Amino acid sequence: MAAVGSEGAPASDDALLVLYANGDPEAAAELMQRLAPRALGVAIRVLGNRAEAEDITQEAMMRLWRMAPDWQPGQAKVSTWLYRVVMNLCIDLKRRQRGGHVDLDAIPDPEDPACSAADQLQDVARQDALQQALMKLPERQRQAVVLRHIEELTNPEISGIMEISVEAVESLTARGKRALAKVLANRREELGYSDV
Amino acid sequence: MSDTDKSLNKMDHLEDLFAAARSAPTELPGPLQASLLADAQRVQQERASARDTASETSQLLSSPQELSRQIWRQFVSAVGGWPALGGLVAASLSGLWIGLAPPSFLPDPVESFASYSSGSQVVSDLDYDVSFLLSDEVFE
């Protein structure tokens, strides 16, 4: 059975990918169950659009299937590879939508949403509020915050995915968190939090 | 409450929101699951058929006898099968036989060709106009 290793432990993503490349049909289903929800979740958080996120997920998984025969087990994590593909696809999509070049190094400070957040968002769940706050972050900050605080990846992993230094990751996540706190500050009572 | 305390409190709220986001895993919609599996199977099948083709080719190349048999089979198939090939061989042999030993009512092409004494005679028999044009310039 594809999902179980030789000693009864769950097979690693590496092993499943090798099995898939060798023609095992069950390996594809298991890999999809493990990886696709994470890819979709990240894409939704980064893009803020479920339909686009589903398209990105399908394309990323297609690249995974095609890459399977060339995969070198043990050299990297399959999930990290997939996150990188998803992030790059998200960036490409945003770039096409803007119809021009996006300077990834130019990360402006977030705008002060104090006057708009509380007025625009009413009677929404905390998750919706978080998503809306995330969408107010610059793209790279949003990616870093999602990978660090929702996907719980390590800074070195994020560094590999975003192809920036660990220090840059730390800076992006710190600035992102501060910006999120600022965005959500006016909604604490609405979201059921109090200052006391 | 100091500004620092307020700031820390804001971050606590944020951690709560992150924790809530982590605890709500993303569900894959059914149609997307079906598409992903279909993609996976299609790629697997493409790879399997490519592997089969490569394997057949390598078998052919590793055995010259098998390669020649394969070429012969393809030739017979292209001609139209064994009956057509039999007809082709019979017609070829008949033509050769008629050429070498023609029946009495037909001119013997070998004899008539051998009887020509020069190139100009061959040309003159072929075409009057050509021989007329060439006779003065070439065969003087």
Amino acid at A127: Q
Is A41 in CB contact (< 8 Å) with chain B? yes
Please give the pLDDT value at position A135.
93
The pTM (predicted TM-score) of the whole model is: 0.62
Indicate the angle between helix axes A25-47 and A78-98, nearest 10 degrees: 40
How many contacts (CB atoms, under 8 Å) link A and B? 98
CA A123 to CA B140: how far, in whole Å? 114
Residue B74: inside a domain: no
List the domain range (segments joined by +) for residue B115.
106-140
Q: Domain end: A102, A132, A154, which one?
A: A102
Shortest Cα distance, chain B CAs vs residue A29, angstroms: 7
Q: Domain end: A67, A86, A102, which one?
A: A102
Backbone torsion region of residue A73, taken as left when φ is above 0, otherwise alpha when ψ lies between -120 and 50, otherwise beta? beta
Please give the pLDDT value at position A164.
94
Please give the pLDDT value at position A89.
95
Average pLDDT, chain A: 82
Shortest Cα distance, chain B CAs vs residue A41, angstroms: 5
The residue of chain B with its CA nearest to that of A181 is B10
Lowest mean pLDDT among A8-17, A115-124, A139-148: A115-124
Residues A51 and A3 in one domain: yes
Cβ distance B14 to A182 under 8 Å?
Answer: no
Q: pLDDT digits over B96-105, tens only?
A: 888 777 777 7
- Asked if the model's pLDDT at residue A104 lies above 50, the reply is no
Residues A122 and A97 in one domain: no
- Residue range A12-21: average pLDDT? 92
Residue A72, domain CATH: 1.10.1740.10
Please tell me whether the interface predicted TM-score (ipTM) of this complex is above 0.95.
no
Shortest Cα distance, chain A CAs vs residue B49, angstroms: 11
List the domain range (segments joined by +) for residue A180.
104-196
- Asked if the model's pLDDT at residue A16 lies above 90, the reply is yes
Residues A4 and A45 in one domain: yes
Residues A79 and A108 in one domain: no
Is A34 in CB contact (< 8 Å) with chain B? no
> Which residue of B6, B13, B47, B52 is the best one to mutate when testing the A interface, meaning the one whose CB has the most A CBs within 10 A?
B13
Question: Could you tell me which residues come within 8 angstroms of residue A68 by beta carbon, excluding any fewer than 6 positions away?
Answer: A17, A18, A20, A21, B43
- Count of structural domains, chain B: 1
Please give the pLDDT value at position A120.
40
Residues A69 and A146 in one domain: no
- Residue range A82-108: average pLDDT? 74
Which of the residues in chain B have pLDDT under 70?
A: 1-11, 55-57, 59-62, 109-140
Burial of B96 (0-12, 13-18, 19+ CB in 10 A): exposed
Q: Name which of B14, B43, B48 is nearest A184 (Cβ-Cβ).
A: B14
Residues on chain A touching B24 (C-beta within 8 angstroms): 127
CA-closest candidate to residue B38, choices A65, A38, A4, A50: A65
Residue B59: inside a domain: no
CA-closest candidate to residue A44, choices A124, A151, A163: A151
Please give the pLDDT value at position B81.
82
CA A57 to CA A35: how far, in whole Å? 10
Question: 3-class DSSP state for residue A4?
Answer: strand
Cβ–Cβ of B20/A185 closer than 8 Å? Answer: no
CA A14 to CA A2: how far, in whole Å? 12
Amino acid at A51: A
Which 8-state DSSP code applies to residue A102? -
Residue B52: inside a domain: no
Share of chain A above pLDDT 90, in %: 59
Residues A85 and A117 in one domain: no
Residues A122 and A41 in one domain: no
Which 8-state DSSP code applies to residue B12? H
CA-closest candidate to residue A88, choices A44, A58, A24, A43: A43
Residues A24 and A6 in one domain: yes
Residues A82 and A72 in one domain: yes
- Asked if the model's pLDDT at residue A100 lies above 60, the reply is no
Residues on chain B touching A184 (C-beta within 8 angstroms): 10, 13-14, 17
Residue B61: inside a domain: no
* DSSP characters over B28-71: PPHHHHHHHHHHHHHHHHHHHHHHHHHHHHHHHHH-HHHHHHHH
Residues A95 and A17 in one domain: yes
- Count of structural domains, chain A: 2
Q: pLDDT digits over A58-81, tens only?
A: 999 999 999 999 998 888 899 999
CA A13 to CA A83: how far, in whole Å? 14
Residue A127, domain CATH: 1.10.10.10
Q: pLDDT digits over B18-41, tens only?
A: 888 888 778 899 999 999 999 999
Cβ–Cβ of B47/A185 closer than 8 Å? Answer: no
Residues A24 and A97 in one domain: yes
Residues on chain A touching B20 (C-beta within 8 angstroms): 126-127, 130
The residue of chain A with its CA nearest to that of B6 is A195
Residues A76 and A138 in one domain: no
Q: Domain end: A102, A131, A160, which one?
A: A102
CA-closest candidate to residue A97, choices A56, A39, A152, A66: A56
C-alpha neighbours within 13 Å on the C-beta side of residue A142: 23
